[in-house]
Chains A and B, each alone.
Chain A
Amino acid sequence: MTSQLTVLSEDQRDALQELMNVAMGQSADRLARLTGTFVTLSVPRVHAVTQTLDKVLTDLGIGDEPQLVTRQSFLGKLRGEVLVCFAVSGAGELAELMGYENNDVASGDELLMDVTNILTGACINGLAAQIQAMVSFGAPSLMARAKALREVLAEQIAQGYQSLVLEVRFEVASHSFTCDLLVCITDDSVAVVIEAVDKLLSEF
């Protein structure tokens, strides 16, 4: 089977990047309104996981530190999962912003789920709107606590599995908080994205 990913051209990649930029811009704006704080979503970097996952993690430079990883799936024509990598200490900095009592330890995990859900929604809804696809979401869940992402992925992703990986960094400077999102789109639904990208390209 020839992968959709292997045929992603330089132009297509740029266009995809552009598509994501627009989506992220809108999302960041809404997040800022929700939290009443200035937030940034980095310009996403596009990686096709055609080589080994290990190599991509090395490129991303986030594979080896122990992290707290959550995930949430998105379903529909656009299918995949978002992995959110937090520092081991979690997202306590955001507790107040998200309406949690600051010192409530038990709600730490719930806060992580909320942040995961909101970021996943922000990224995927934005992208889905751009390519006019309907998506629905699964509930977020905890994937690993204090483990290196490389290890987590090695355990949970089939060898040789290919997907499109978009890397987005989320930052709330005023609360010195950052986390990394890996938006993984399945190989078979990448076609939907590419189609939209081609449409975008033909419009210029």
Chain B
Amino acid sequence: MSEVSSPTLISILQQINMGVVLLDDQARVHFWNDFMAVNSGLRPEQALGKALCELFPDLPEPWLRKKLDSVFMLENMAFSSWQQRPHPFNFAGSRPITGQAQKMFQNATFFPLREADGVIRLVCLALTDATDIAMQQLELAELNALLSAEKEEQARLIKRLEETQAQLLQSEKMAAIGQLAAGVAHEINNPVGFVNSNLGSLKGYVDEVFALINSYQALIEQHGNEALKSELAALNKKADLDFLISDLAELIRESQGGLDRVKRIVVDLRDFSHVDSSEWNMADLHQGLDSTLNVIWNEIKYRADIIKEYGDIPAVEAIGAQLNQVFMNLIINASHALGEGGHIWLRTGQVDDEVFVQVQDDGCGIAAENLGRLFEPFFTTKPVGKGTGLGLSLAYSIVNKHHGRLEVSSVVGQGTTFTVWLPKTQPKAAEVASA
């Protein structure tokens, strides 16, 4: 096998399809092969002896300097990769027709050229065209980014679907309970009505009968028949008339109280089921709050100090009567939560396009495990007779219908804050349908 001659080797270096450049420690060109000549447009006679940075003003000189220094001093290779420095030489893209790349992506290796005497005088710069691989990788990276964006979008949609489903479930539950409540309210309303009116008559009659008995006794007193008087006294005593009179009145009062309570429950139930009564107007929430306070003043005045901190808010598009119901429930609940000398703060204000009404108390607070169930119909922690568990679920559905939000935060032992958020105006029907 014959040795390959030096001229042949030089031809190979000259014609190989990668850039081969020899540089001295001043970065002057000592060899310039065809690849470099073709891509740069500089013929060897134009390049030889010139400093590389002179030929390519875009090449950062300190960068090249350090690369060469490190090769000379450490007698070690140095690298430049298209990923970090895509186009060290400003060569045109190597896929002029099908490629998107305007410029050629390049990888470069610098290695020390040790000569026969062991001294390193030149560094070889070997430049390869990495356009194909770079394009592929960049396309892949783009695809990857696209895929992960799509994945994120899907995750977001799935989450929204779940939320919507939960909402749907909740509103279905509400609707079913609403129907049930309407039926029950209707059924109870009639008997309660006639019992109530009968009880009213009964009270009147009883009062009359007692008045009659009083008159009889007065008459007997007047006529002074001692025997009759003492016999009457004995009869009265035997029947315990004084007790009868006072207890009968008490019984009737209690029954009326009981009936009132039944009526209130029925009203609650009816309101709950007839959420869609009344008209949409521009409602003044401060006025609504004040009139609500009026209605329930008797129930709360002994328990709570009311502190109003009204902000500057515009009128909102709402069914005023229904919002009053919401406020009433929140304030009454707050008053129930209070101990001796408690406070209720009523705040209003505006954040961006939303108006809020806040009812805060410094009462007992709500246990964490109950927070999630507050808005469930019939959820109550109050003794039978005092709570129906409908107040908050009613409030929730009203606020929902107003495209608002009802938020609660609470610390056990410190108090509770309910906040009603309402949009200033209701979205148009078309927007609602498409939302």
Among A19-73, those with CB < 8 Å from B are: 27, 30-31, 33-34
Among B76-135, those with CB < 8 Å from A are: 76-81, 83-85, 107, 109
> Chain B nearest CB: distance from A93 CB in Å?
15
User: When the two chains form their complex, are residues B65 and A117 in contact, meaning their CB atoms are under 8 A apart?
Assistant: no
Partner of A125, one of B75, B78, B80, B84: B75
Determine the residue in chain B with the shortest Cβ distance to A124.
Answer: B76
User: When the two chains form their complex, are residues A118 and B77 in contact, meaning their CB atoms are under 8 A apart?
Assistant: no
Bound complex: CA A137 to CA B122 (Å) = 19
A89 within 8 A of partner (CB): no
A-contacting 9-mer, from B66-74, B348-356, B389-397: B66-74
A100-B63, A139-B107 as given contacts; A117 in contact with B69, CB under 8 Å = no
User: When the two chains form their complex, are residues B63 and A33 in contact, meaning their CB atoms are under 8 A apart?
Assistant: no
B-contacting 9-mer, from A107-115, A160-168, A173-181: A107-115
Chain B residues near A122 (CB-CB < 8 A): 74, 76
> Chain A nearest CB: distance from B85 CB in Å?
6
B383 within 8 A of partner (CB): no
Partner of A107, one of B84, B107, B109: B84
User: When the two chains form their complex, are residues B81 and A118 in contact, meaning their CB atoms are under 8 A apart?
Assistant: no
Determine the residue in chain B with the shortest Cβ distance to A112.
Answer: B84
User: When the two chains form their complex, are residues A117 and B62 in contact, meaning their CB atoms are under 8 A apart?
Assistant: no
Chain A residues near B65 (CB-CB < 8 A): 99
Bound complex: CA A33 to CA B74 (Å) = 9
User: When the two chains form their complex, are residues A110 and B85 in contact, meaning their CB atoms are under 8 A apart?
Assistant: yes
User: When the two chains form their complex, are residues B78 and A114 in contact, meaning their CB atoms are under 8 A apart?
Assistant: yes
User: When the two chains form their complex, are residues B70 and A118 in contact, meaning their CB atoms are under 8 A apart?
Assistant: yes
A98 within 8 A of partner (CB): yes
A90 within 8 A of partner (CB): no
Bound complex: CA A99 to CA B34 (Å) = 30
Determine the residue in chain B with the shortest Cβ distance to A142.
Answer: B83
Most buried by A among B63, B65, B80, B107: B63
Question: For this complex, into which size category does the number of interface residues on chain B fall?
Answer: 20 to 34
> Chain B nearest CB: distance from A196 CB in Å?
20
User: When the two chains form their complex, are residues A99 and B79 in contact, meaning their CB atoms are under 8 A apart?
Assistant: no
> Chain A nearest CB: distance from B19 CB in Å?
16
Partner of A113, one of B60, B76, B77, B84: B84
Bound complex: CA A178 to CA B19 (Å) = 36
Chain B residues near A107 (CB-CB < 8 A): 84-85
User: When the two chains form their complex, are residues B70 and A110 in contact, meaning their CB atoms are under 8 A apart?
Assistant: no
A107-B84, A109-B84, A140-B79 as given contacts; A99 in contact with B63, CB under 8 Å = yes
> Chain A nearest CB: distance from B215 CB in Å?
99
Determine the residue in chain B with the shortest Cβ distance to A111.
Answer: B84
Partner of B77, one of A31, A34, A100, A121: A121
Chain B residues near A137 (CB-CB < 8 A): 76-77, 79
Determine the residue in chain A with the shortest Cβ distance to B75.
Answer: A125
> Chain B nearest CB: distance from A195 CB in Å?
24
A34-B69, A109-B84, A139-B109 as given contacts; A121 in contact with B76, CB under 8 Å = yes
Bound complex: CA A109 to CA B84 (Å) = 6
User: When the two chains form their complex, are residues A109 and B83 in contact, meaning their CB atoms are under 8 A apart?
Assistant: yes
User: When the two chains form their complex, are residues B81 and A139 in contact, meaning their CB atoms are under 8 A apart?
Assistant: yes
Q: Report whether over half of chain A's contact residues are helix, strand or loop; otherwise say mixed.
A: helix
A98-B66, A100-B62, A139-B107 as given contacts; A113 in contact with B81, CB under 8 Å = yes
A189 within 8 A of partner (CB): no
A141 within 8 A of partner (CB): yes
Determine the residue in chain A with the shortest Cβ distance to B64.
Answer: A99
User: When the two chains form their complex, are residues A99 and B66 in contact, meaning their CB atoms are under 8 A apart?
Assistant: yes
User: When the two chains form their complex, are residues B84 and A31 in contact, meaning their CB atoms are under 8 A apart?
Assistant: no
Chain A residues near B66 (CB-CB < 8 A): 98-99, 114
Most buried by B among A31, A101, A113, A140: A113
A98-B66, A99-B66, A100-B63 as given contacts; A117 in contact with B73, CB under 8 Å = no
> Chain B nearest CB: distance from A126 CB in Å?
10
Chain A residues near B63 (CB-CB < 8 A): 99-100
Determine the residue in chain B with the shortest Cβ distance to A109.
Answer: B84
User: When the two chains form their complex, are residues A110 and B80 in contact, meaning their CB atoms are under 8 A apart?
Assistant: yes
Chain A residues near B109 (CB-CB < 8 A): 139
Determine the residue in chain A with the shortest Cβ distance to B81.
Answer: A139
Determine the residue in chain B with the shortest Cβ distance to A118.
Answer: B70
> Chain B nearest CB: distance from A28 CB in Å?
11
Chain B residues near A139 (CB-CB < 8 A): 79, 81, 107, 109
A98-B66, A99-B66 as given contacts; A34 in contact with B74, CB under 8 Å = yes
Chain A residues near B81 (CB-CB < 8 A): 110, 113, 139-141
- Residue interface mask A67-103, B partner, CB < 8 A = 1: 0000000000000000000000000000000111100
Bound complex: CA A30 to CA B107 (Å) = 26
User: When the two chains form their complex, are residues A33 and B73 in contact, meaning their CB atoms are under 8 A apart?
Assistant: yes
User: When the two chains form their complex, are residues B79 and A117 in contact, meaning their CB atoms are under 8 A apart?
Assistant: yes
Chain B residues near A110 (CB-CB < 8 A): 80-81, 84-85
Chain A residues near B77 (CB-CB < 8 A): 117, 121, 136-137
> Chain B nearest CB: distance from A100 CB in Å?
7
Among B26-77, those with CB < 8 Å from A are: 60, 62-63, 65-67, 69-70, 73-77
Interface of B toward A, CB cutoff 8 Å: 60, 62-63, 65-67, 69-70, 73-81, 83-85, 107, 109
A-B contact pairs, 15 of them (CB 8 A): A99-B60, A107-B84, A109-B83, A109-B84, A110-B80, A110-B85, A113-B79, A114-B66, A114-B78, A117-B76, A118-B74, A121-B76, A125-B74, A137-B76, A139-B81
Interface of A toward B, CB cutoff 8 Å: 27, 30-31, 33-34, 98-101, 107, 109-110, 113-114, 117-118, 121-122, 125, 136-137, 139-141
The 6 lowest CB-CB distance pairs between A and B, nearest first, are A121-B76, A99-B66, A110-B84, A99-B62, A139-B79, A34-B73
Known: A118-B76, A137-B76, A137-B77. 12 other contacts (CB 8 A): A34-B70, A34-B74, A99-B63, A114-B70, A114-B78, A117-B70, A117-B77, A117-B79, A118-B78, A122-B76, A139-B79, A140-B81
